[in-house]
Structure 1
């Protein structure tokens, strides 16, 4: 019995990882809707897995951290286990305010092209596909991407 337990423990230890954060780090908070309460505006499979970055205020014990939560989340306890937190690697400059996002009636994100930067043709076997490099409004990452001319 002891040999079997040691074998199972060795398998479990390989998958464990030590997660630590420092006071002042920004972390994303993992949440799951509890008892069908929708707290973060989305429901179903499109609901976010992690919500916005929060700053760590203090460390509580070995595996818990206290977060600086805004007033909208004052009904939630501010101390979370380390497995509910993920390191936030994004900087504040890449954060897009929700006010600037335009959504239509079917809740589709509306992107607006600003200008066409460049044109080229791509040869695919016997076809020639015209491509244009479009600069988009509100696109994260690279500002201009190649699209089909249509």
Structure 2
């Protein structure tokens, strides 16, 4: 990578970051940009300092695209190299009828972690639909009461406090809290 970019490879780090953030990640099944913003990146971006020589028009897009393709190919080559290292130790298992094998069975009783041995995933969807979100001027999520579910009266020494169970529209789904009726 240093040979292709010359001695100034550090100037191309933003392009490396751009390429990495827009590459598909198998762990989250999308690119990082798409996971963060809920859509694919469709812009041609180039970072240039104020004092640098500026390319104009199609030249800047062609130059940036060429560098991004080169960086993506380097990232893919590194992934393939790491896969080949892992595949050296991996052996295909073949069994014949009548072979005796060790069967690994989980215990019937014991500690069940991560909600009955399910994969530990976030509870929220990848992208929240914008029509359901209400935000204020500081971009904070506004939770509003949807309906009153139940009513009770709390008895203290000399007073009675009426409380209600309120269902709220939350970004995580419906939430219920007890609030004073006033």
- TM superposition score normalised by structure 1: 0.38
Q: Higher helix share goes to which structure?
A: 2
Greater Cα radius of gyration, structure 1 or 2: 2
